[in-house]
Chain A
Amino acid sequence: MAAILDFAQIVGKRNTITAPSELRTYECDGLAGFRVRPAVVVLPETTEQVAAAVKLARSLGMPIVPRGAGTGLSGGALPVDGCVVIGLARMTKILAIDLENRRMRVQPGVINLDISRRLAPLGYYYAPDPSSQSVCTIGGNVAENSGGAHCLKYGFTVNHAVGATIVTSDGDVVTLGAQSGEPDSLGYDLMGVLVGSEGLLGIVTEVVVKILRRPQATRTIFATFPSTDEASGAVSSIIASGIVPAAIEMMDKLAIEAIVAATHVDWPLDVGAALLMDVDGVSAEVEDTAAAASALIEAAGAIEMRTPHDEVERGLMWKGRKAAFAAVGRISPNYYVQDGVIPRKDVAAVLREITRLGNEAGLRVANVFHAGDGNLHPLVLYDARIPGQEAKAEHVGGEILRVCLKYGGSVTGEHGVGRDKACYLGEQFSGDDLATMQMVRSAFDPYGVLNPDKLFPTPRLCGDKPGAYTAHPVEISGQAGRG
């Protein structure tokens, strides 16, 4: 096929994948329930190659799906029929470290944790720390506005990724945002909109991130409780006291069981919930806040409290938390992760509703989540081999999102909308809200060729539900004329 040969001319044969057996790797992301085989995958190594590949795809009328490491949990990197997947995983260069201005410039395929690893000897780090940080790419983080346990105090990707180079759907190379450490750039905050745009507005080929000085001290507290009610109470009273923990994570009974089975941390099993919390900052403050937080945890009804004796033990505790999803994967053949957000004061009530939904469907639900910012991760356990269970799990997942919306929250706090939650977006936002977002899309990609069938609810994806319809970008740009 001429088309595919042409891609190979741009990125080289080695970086062009067409064999069906090799294409299989690219059929899905972390949401393995959805699978579509792309026509071709290209793995460019430079911005110029990305631009040339985009231009070629456009001339061939092929839709384009950007991809990082494929760890996304919402089907964001799911291919569409006849598409070219542009994989950025081979663009792994660290381009510049500027300690004086506390910025670093990297290619999009750099693994999140590698940024902090590279900075560690210098006493600096990159703050956003998704649990997948040892495998996911910074480009994927930018596209998803990824969060992590320590985002409670330090903010999300959008607060740290301040500039980028992108390739637009026309194959143009554009720099957005602050490139070298200036606090703002002129004009509309296009960088702010790019972050979290899930590959619909442009392909990120360079990222400028803020880097932070390691705090003087960090203290970790692990505490267990009879139930999630007391644990939620502890979170609320800590926050109300004015302490801003670096992280405060909650695990329920089932999640603890799974983590203990998978990682051999010596957490007790006869408890209803656990909190894992970090406070960090200047030493004296950390001492005081750790003591104050401990008192509040005790007052909230904790069973037991532990502080790690050394870095190794602390590392193990956090490893336990970060391995939670994989651990749940070992106690259940399948699970479905949700990512809803609620006001944190409502955590206890919403967890009770989630338990009820699980019980009604006869499915177990494990909860392991960012309690400090109300970002829940209910994992609905099921067995796909049992007819009907998968559909039930999806139903429970959907109902959980509706509960989050009922409490004034959001259907996604960090995993993105992607293909998975597109149809729920119309329940969170009005048709006018979504049309406004489509207007933004049309300014970047008037023909909607970048990552189509993601994020926006369309009649084709969701059926003709009233309220879910939004105009196709071409409709809007047609009416608006292209300025």
Chain B
Amino acid sequence: MMVAGVEPRTLVEPQSVDELTDRVRELYARETPFAFIGGGTEMELGNLPRALDTLVRTTACTGVIDYAPEDQTITVEAGMTIAAVSDVLARERQFLAIDAPDPERATVGGAIATNLSGPRRLRYGGIKDTIVGVEIVRPDGVRARGGGKVVKNVAGFDIPKLMVGSLGTLGAIVGATFRVFPVAERRAALMYAVLTVDQMMSLCAELIGAALVPAAVTGFACAKRGRYDVVVTFEGFARGVEEQMTTAAAIAVRLGVDAEALPDDALAAQGKRERALRRGANWHLTVCAPPTALAHFVATTPFADDVRHAVDPLLGTGYFAAAEFDVATVAAWRTALGGGSAVVNALPAQARRGLDSWGEPPKAALAIMRRLKATFDPKGLCNAGRFVGGL
């Protein structure tokens, strides 16, 4: 079990949230550096730990605390896998809007800590939009809650948001409440073949202009340079989906491009293509930029032959994978992206030297983040050094 390529000395697996709380309190009191692990699917994200002794695994904490289908909310312990939560929800024809690449392993806590984000974020929002409550164990071993169990709530500061993407540096996420959604009656998808970047962006403008409501839009880079197969997915009640498919097909005619309907399990097909993207590649990067900047970036960057990628052009997210890559290229991309970011999700251990996984946030905001980290973890023991700015 490695953390950014470093082997911890000890692995502990508390059998309950209470035990986990006790463990953290002891570690903190003894000044033993520690970190958390869920399913272990994203352990290469983040910088080298500054110090690490004990890894605390959350995967034994898997209870469903409360599920209220009528209220479309669920509260679970954070060690539960995304697949397990999905199974519970599926019985009531509901789902959690987190498209995890590896749902059988990825845990709820890990998804929150890494701000896991997939193509259907376009329609259902990201974790930040669907999390309504959180329970954490602070680095000092104190258990605290924020938010609540109801979908609407402005009492107190939004601690749930603060935990999303915090990479376990402000403590362990031990429980969370989400807003969930009814499973759509119908899903259908259309694939527009070999579009140029300009055509892809025109397509996006047309979809928005026609007030369609796609669940996801993903462009998969083709073997032919600068070209994309763009998959547009619709979900909802049957007639609405059919009408949108018709309009979307008409848009293809207007743009003079080929489009074909994908079979019913379009989402599965999309997932397969996404996984294929990363297979056999040691380097994974996520690019995040305003849609127009992302389009400019993919249109003007001279990608090496083995760089595979896909973009969610309306979200402003790009996923890149390659066998060979280097620190200088990461730096060049960051410069090219301006206000956007290029985060390295995975890389070979020996390539870490000199690399910052994240890139630099604005200085003034970083100063507040530093104070925040120092207030939550004054001894600097909790997943130290791995986050943005060496936090």
Which residue numbers of A lie inside 8 Å of B, CB to CB?
98, 100-103, 123, 144-145, 147, 151, 155-156, 158-159, 168, 172-176, 179-190, 192-193, 195-197, 201, 213-216, 236, 239-240, 242, 244, 281-289, 341-345, 370, 373-375, 408-417, 421, 425, 428-430, 432-437, 439-444, 446, 455, 476-477, 479-483
Query: Is the Cβ of A344 less than 8 Å from the Cβ of B159?
Result: no
Fill in one digit per residue for B352-391: 1 if any A CB lies within 8 Å of its CB, else 0. Answer: 0000001111101111111111111010000000011101
Binding site for A on B (CB under 8 A): 68-73, 93, 115, 117, 121, 125-126, 128-129, 136, 138, 142-146, 148-159, 161-162, 164-166, 170, 181-185, 205, 208-213, 236-237, 239-244, 288-293, 315-317, 339-341, 343, 358-362, 364-376, 378, 387-389, 391
Q: B262: shortest Cβ distance to chain A, in Å? A: 19
Whether A443 touches B375, Cβ cut-off 8 Å, given contacts A285-B236, A343-B150, A414-B152, is yes
Our pick among A242, A288, A413, A429 for the contact of B156 (Cβ within 8 Å) is A429
A435 partner residues in chain B, CB cutoff 8 A: 142, 144
How far is it, in angstroms, between the C-alpha of A238 and the C-alpha of B362 when the chains are bound? 46
Q: Given the complex, which residues of A lie within 8 Å of B209, measured CB to CB? A: 123, 213
Whether B364 and A414, one on each chain, are in contact in the complex, defined by CB atoms closer than 8 angstroms, is no
Residues of B within 8 A of A480 (CB): 374-375, 378
Contact assessment for A432 and B72 in the assembled complex, using a CB-CB cutoff below 8 Å? no
B374 / chain A contacts, CB cutoff of 8 Å: 443, 480-483
> Which of A184, A416, A443 gathers the greatest number of chain B CB atoms within 10 Å?
A184
CB <8 Å contact, A343 and B364: no
Cα A416 to Cα B242 with chains together (Å): 42
Give the number of residue pairs across the A-B interface with Cβ within 8 Å.
Answer: 291
Q: Given A190, A216, A441, which contacts B365 in the complex, CB threshold below 8 Å?
A: A190
Task: Please provide the 5 A-B residue pairs with the shortest distance between their CB atoms, ordered closest to farther.
Answer: A285-B240, A483-B374, A192-B161, A181-B290, A242-B182
Q: B125 — which chain A residues lie within 8 A by C-beta?
A: 155, 159
Q: Which residue of A lies closest to B337 (CB)?
A: A182
Q: Find chain A residues with CB under 8 A from B184 CB.
A: 242
Contact of A281 among B126, B240, B368, B378 (CB under 8 A): B240
Chain A residue nearest to B129 (CB atoms) is A159
Q: How far is A415 from B365 in the complex, measured between Cα atoms in Å?
A: 28
How many angstroms between the C-alpha atoms of A133 and B386 in the bound complex? 43
* Contact in complex: A434, B211 (CB < 8 Å): no
Whether A187 and B365, one on each chain, are in contact in the complex, defined by CB atoms closer than 8 angstroms, is yes
CA distance A158 to B317 in the complex (A): 20
Most buried by B among A145, A185, A442: A185
Do the beta carbons of A437 and B156 come within 8 Å of each other?
Answer: yes
Q: Is the CB of A430 within 8 A of B144?
A: yes
B367 surroundings in chain A (CB, below 8 A): 172, 174
Q: Are A281 and B213 in touch, CB under 8 angstroms?
A: yes
Contacts A151-B152, A343-B150 known; A374 to B71 CB distance under 8 Å?
yes
Closest to A184 in B: B288
In the complex, A236 Cα to B151 Cα: how many Å? 15
Q: Is the CB of B237 within 8 A of A182?
A: no
B164 x A282 contact (CB < 8 A): no
Q: CB-nearest residue of chain A relative to B242?
A: A284
B150 touches A408 (CB 8 A): yes
The smallest beta-carbon distance between A89 and chain B, in angstroms, is: 22
Rounded to whole Å, the gap between the CB of A121 and the closest CB of chain B is 15
Contact call B162/A196, Cβ cutoff below 8 A: no
Please measure, in the bound complex, the distance between the C-alpha atom of A111 and the C-alpha atom of B389, giving whole angstroms: 37
In the complex, which of the residues A285, A345, A370 contacts B70, with contact meaning CB atoms closer than 8 Å?
A345
Question: Quick check: A439 and B375 within 8 Å, CB to CB?
Answer: yes
Name the residue of chain A whose CB is nearest to the CB of B295.
Answer: A100
- Please name all residues of chain B whose beta carbon is closer than 8 Å to the beta carbon of A179 when the two chains form the complex: 339
Query: Chain B's nearest CB lies how many Å from the CB of A125?
Result: 11
| A239 adjacent to B240 (CB under 8 Å) | no
Q: Which residues of A contact B126 (CB under 8 A)?
A: 183-184
In the assembled complex, the Cα of A186 lies from the Cα of B165 at a distance in Å of 9
Taking CB atoms, residues of chain A closer than 8 Å to B158 are 145, 158, 192-193, 195-197
- Chain A hits for B161, CB < 8 A: 158, 189, 192-193, 195
Known contacts A100-B291, A175-B365, A341-B152; is-contact A189 B164 (Cβ 8 Å)? yes
Q: Which of A188, A409, A442 contacts B166 (CB 8 A)?
A: A188
Considering the chains assembled together, what is the distance between the CA atoms of A250 and B157 in angstroms? 28
Q: Which residue of B lies closest to A286 (CB)?
A: B240
With A236-B70, A433-B156 as given contacts, are A216 and B211 in contact (CB-CB < 8 Å)? yes
The reply to whether B71 and A441 contact each other, CB–CB distance below 8 Å, is: no
What is the minimal beta-carbon distance from B98 to any residue of chain A, in angstroms?
15
Q: Which of B212, B290, B343, B364 makes the CB contact (< 8 A) with A180?
A: B290
Cβ B289 vs Cβ A182 within 8 A:
yes
Interface hub of A156, A187, A197, A429 (most chain B Cβ within 10 A): A187
- Shortest CB-to-CB span from B255 to chain A, Å, is 17
Whether the Cβ atoms of A183 and B366 lie closer than 8 Å is no
Chain B contacts for A483, CB-based, 8 A: 370-371, 373-375
Q: How far is the CA of A477 from the CA of B376 in the complex (A)?
A: 10
Distance in Å: Cβ of A405 to nearest Cβ of chain B: 10
Residue from A172, A345, A374, A441 within 8 A of B157 (CB atoms): A441
A174, B368: Cα distance in complex, Å: 9
Q: What separation, in Å, do the CA atoms of A144 and B158 have in the docked complex?
A: 11
A136 to B145, CA, bound (A): 31
Nearest to A151 among chain B residues (CB) is B152
Instruction: Kindly list chain A residues whose C-beta atoms are within 8 Å of the C-beta of B121.
Output: 183
Min Cβ gap B47→A in Å is: 13
Q: Are A214 and B371 in contact (CB under 8 A)?
A: no
Contact B159 A410 (CB under 8 A): no
Closest to B207 in A: A213
- In the assembly, what is the distance between CA of A12 and CA of B276, in Å? 63
- With both chains docked as a complex, state the minimum distance between the C-beta of B257 and any C-beta of chain A, in angstroms: 20
Choose from A182, A375, A440, A455 the contact partner of B340 (Cβ within 8 Å).
A182
A123 CB, min distance to chain B CBs, angstroms: 8
A215 to B145, CA, bound (A): 37
Bound CA–CA A186/B363 (angstroms): 11
Complex CA–CA separation, A408 to B65 (angstroms): 13
Task: List A contacts of B317 (CB < 8 A).
Answer: 183
Q: How far is A183 from B148 in the complex, measured between Cα atoms in Å? A: 25
List residues of chain A with CB within 8 A of the CB of B136: 436
Whether the Cβ atoms of A429 and B145 lie closer than 8 Å is yes
Contact status A185-B361, CB under 8 Å: yes
Could you say which residues of chain B place their CB within 8 Å of the CB of A432? 142-144
Residues of A close to B242: CB separation below 8 A: 284
- A188 touching B154 in the complex, CB below 8 Å, given contacts A285-B236, A409-B148, A439-B376: no
Report if A285-B243 is in contact (Cβ < 8 Å); known contacts: A147-B152, A213-B209: yes
Chain A nearest CB from B187 CB (Å) reads: 13
> With A410-B155, A433-B144 given, is the CB distance from A345 to B68 under 8 Å?
yes
B70 with A192: CB separation less than 8 A: no
Q: B237 touches which one: A288, A413, A425 (CB < 8 A)?
A: A288
The answer to whether A176 and B365 touch across the interface, beta carbons within 8 angstroms, is yes
Establish whether residues B289 and A239, one from each chain, have CB atoms under 8 Å apart when the complex forms. no
- What are 21 A-B contacts defined by CB distance under 8 Å? A102-B208, A151-B152, A176-B365, A180-B339, A183-B317, A187-B391, A192-B164, A215-B213, A239-B72, A242-B93, A281-B240, A345-B71, A408-B148, A413-B153, A429-B145, A433-B159, A440-B157, A442-B371, A443-B368, A482-B374, A483-B375
